[in-house]
Chains A and B, each alone.
Chain A
Amino acid sequence: MPSGRSLFSCLCLLLALLAPTHAVEAADDGRDPIVVKDPHYGEVLYYFYQEDYFPAIVRVLAAKDREQLSDHVQEAELLLGGMYLSYGHHVQAAEIFERLLAGNVAPDIRDRTWFFLAKIWYQRGYLDKSQQALANIERELPRFLQREALMLEAQILIDAGNYDAAIVKLENWKGRSEWASYAKFNIGVALVRLGRVDEAARLLDDLGELDPFNEELTSLRDKANLALGYALLQDGQAQAAKAPLQRVRLEGPFSNKALLGVGWADAEMDRYRRALVPWMELRGRDLLDSAVQESMLAIPYAMAKLDSISQAADHYLNAIEAFYEETNRLDRTIQHIESGQFFDDFVEDNPLDSTGWYWRLEELPEGPEARYLFHLLATHKFQEGLKNYRDLSYLHRNLDEWQQSVDVYGNMLETRKEAYALRLPRVEDALGRADLDEMVGRKLEFDSTLNNIEESHDWLALATQSEFEMWGEITGLENTPALRANIPEAYEVRDKIDLLKGVLQWQLERDFGDRLWRIRRNLRESGEALVDTQRSRRQIDESIRLEPLRFDELSDRVYSLDPRIEGTKMRVEDALFQQRAFLQSIAIGELEAQKQRLDVYSVQARFALAAIYDIASTVGEASE
């Protein structure tokens, strides 16, 4: 019997899985393992350890239904809750946890569980539930979770527009970890949104000058500098905005916006020649980026300001052409997404063998639309929507497979019924011929005869056939008249006969006890066999009585499952359709926004170009 893990370990392991970076510290609890007592519980663990939550959950539910987990009742329940959570089935998970965590569960486990529930609910947009779960945490969490919990709490406040409360929450932040930097950034952003730019500037500036020790922090530093730069630009502090914007790396996810911002800061100060330097750098970059698009208008704008009218006109024309082509590409992408093919490709590219909350889509399917939707991947709504879409596809496939199996089961059951109906008369006939009562009667008769033989010590009754015949022959000879003659030959024969008879009798009497014991043993065994046969007979009778009922019950189940599967499948299809429509609407909304921005830029470019032509013609007329 294998060693498994204790109840505590199971939940620790789940919680560790939910926080992969801390898996080792959370799972290595150092407590003694327990023995897996029910094979069905071990089987659940087998799937659980492979993170195949769906089959693991099904097995727990089935084993619970059959009461096969008697030695692991509470563990199985807690494990089920954890697996529901891992599978993204947060409603059921919460139901179990709320029930179980109210009971006798270690406070640290309870608090951690509430934290992970809060996290999953936040990601799915259930802010109230998430806040409530956080409020249920009674003690201080381990440090690595405490930081995240505080961030989560603050983020909920920020999302709800409650910036002041978020600032208060994060102001007391202590420590020099990455989380502290994120906290500072979030406070800074919250302050900017409140219009308290100077306060935000102090925080973001501090963050913008930090010495990062990894890529994540470098990226956060760029983000802080960018946020500060634009906040100052909007606040009319163009000169001050330049320094943070120039601190952003030249190559990175925020570099285009930073270069654009540096240009605008110079332009704000009428230094158009300087402004052209970062903007011209943007010219060769990916047109998909809104900063690059904007730079295509900014460059001719600066040129016009520098009186390079003809060059400005060329750049506007280039921009109009580029925006037009980009708009066409966007239209084609929108059509592709509307066709539904995009999400089918997505499911095909991602094997459905694992599902659950940990899964994240890292790469979109190859194709032109991927480049437009790339940053949508970073949003919870899109990611969670994709998870649901993927889970629904899994459910659909699962139901499809069962539907085929149920058809086979139906056929199988019908075949069994036919075979049973065919065999039953033969069995009944055979049973009718086997008169068990008569056999019992005969056995009792044998018992009685044997008792009489024993009582009368009738050794001849137990003689074998040959002995009996011999005895008959001897007694026959004894009565031969010739042997009664009074002659020596007759005496001699009579003596021999007496001797033979005596030897035979002596042998029969000697073997009597042994023979009696053997016969009694055989008779007892026959009696036992008869009892077994009677038991079997009763079982057969019971089976004959129950089998049709069993067939009926199985038929009911098989045939009621089919419509149930069909109905659920239709609802899954409907949900898939709706989920796809939802994801399509997000994706298309994103693309439409990009298109709209290009339209606006195109109009601006055309308007500026017209203005240039006007000026040119006015100048021409004046010179004539």
Chain B
Amino acid sequence: MDAAESESRQQFQSLDQDVQTLKKEVLDLNRDLFLLEEELLFPANSQVAFFISMDVGEYFELDSVNLKIDGKEVANYLYTAREADALIRGGVHRVHMANLKTGDHEIIAVFTGKGPHVRDYRRGATVTIDKGIGAKYLELEITDRVKKQQPEFVIKDWE
């Protein structure tokens, strides 16, 4: 390796070290901002988070989810193929965060996509939740009912 090449490599490594340090700092900063944003926008006492999960996904190909709280539409999320694939592989998507008062609230989720035999499929799930003090995590779960060869949609507390 000649001297110029060696100097160039050293220069590259010095810059690379700076980039590494900056990456760490920006990631730490993002973590702090992420936490602050959540605490500010969704204080723990009133926070409700809605997660979409899929188990298996043989009988349903997810296109979109529409979410209503007490009759008011709060989220309408359209999934890309990449996102739907991430769900099938075990990822969980936080589709919505809300602040809710303590007491009863009606949650309605409508799932659209392709059902068995690649037919258009649209199903809803509803539940009334009792929001107490403290954060609440709800799971909008799509599972396969092997016996019926149909998908099943359930809203429940994350256990």
Query: B141: which of A1, A402, A564 is its contact (CB, 8 Å)?
Result: A1
Q: How far is the CB of B81 from chain A (nearest CB, A)?
A: 10
When the two chains form the complex, which single residue of A5, A42, A50, A395 contacts B51, counting CB atoms closer than 8 Å? A42
B27 to chain A, nearest CB (A): 6
User: At the interface, yes or no: A25 with Cβ under 8 Å from chain B?
Assistant: no
Confirm or deny: B158 has a beta carbon within 8 angstroms of a beta carbon on chain A.
yes
- A374 contacts chain B at the CB level, 8 A cutoff: no
Interface of A is mostly: helix
Cα distance, A571 to B20, chains bound together (Å): 12
Bin chain A's interface residue count: 35 or more
Cα distance A2–B15 in the bound complex, in angstroms: 42
* Contact call B94/A39, Cβ cutoff below 8 A: yes
The smallest beta-carbon distance between A404 and chain B, in angstroms, is 12
Interface residue? B120 (CB, 8 A): no
Determine which of B8, B16, B33 lies in contact with A402 in the assembled complex, contact meaning CB atoms within 8 Å.
B33
Among B1, B20, B34, B49, the residue within 8 A (CB) of A91 is: B20
> Which of A124, A392, A558 has a CB less than 8 Å from the CB of B22?
A392
Q: How extensive is the interface on chain B, given as a class?
A: 35 or more
Whether A1 contacts B86 by the Cβ 8 Å rule is no
Check B24–A92 contact: CB distance below 8 A. Answer: yes
Complex Cα distance A59/B36, Å? 13
B30 within 8 A of A: yes
Give the segment of A60-68, A216-224, A598-606 that binds chain B.
A60-68
Instruction: Please give, as numbers and ranges, the residues of chain B lying within 8 Å of A578 by CB-CB distance.
Output: 15, 18
Chain B CB within 8 A of A507 CB: no
Interface residue? A16 (CB, 8 A): no
B159: nearest chain-A partner, CB-CB: A1
Contact of B92 among A42, A381, A385 (CB under 8 A): A42
- Residues in B neighbouring A33, C-beta threshold 8 A: 90
Is B89 at the interface (CB under 8 A from chain A)? yes
Q: Are the CB atoms of A43 and B22 closer together than 8 Å?
A: no
Please name all residues of chain A whose beta carbon is closer than 8 Å to the beta carbon of B13 when the two chains form the complex.
124-126
A90 within 8 A of B: yes
- Asked if residues B90 and A66 are in contact (CB atoms below 8 Å), the reply is no
Q: Which residues of A have CB within 8 Å of B24?
A: 89, 91-92
Q: A3-B55, A571-B22, A575-B22 are in contact. Are A46 and B36 (CB under 8 A)?
A: no
Q: Which listed residue (B34, B37, B91) contacts A42, Cβ 8 A?
A: B91
| Pairwise interchain contact B19-A579, C-beta atoms closer than 8 A | yes
* A57 touching B12, Cβ below 8 Å: no
Q: List 25 A-B contacts (CB under 8 A).
A: A1-B55, A2-B54, A43-B91, A43-B92, A46-B93, A47-B91, A48-B86, A49-B85, A49-B86, A49-B90, A50-B91, A61-B27, A61-B30, A87-B23, A89-B20, A124-B12, A395-B22, A395-B23, A402-B29, A554-B36, A554-B40, A564-B29, A571-B25, A572-B26, A582-B11
- B interface residues with partner A (beta carbon < 8 Å): 1, 8-9, 11-13, 15-20, 22-40, 49, 51, 53-56, 82-83, 85-87, 89-94, 137, 139, 141, 158-159
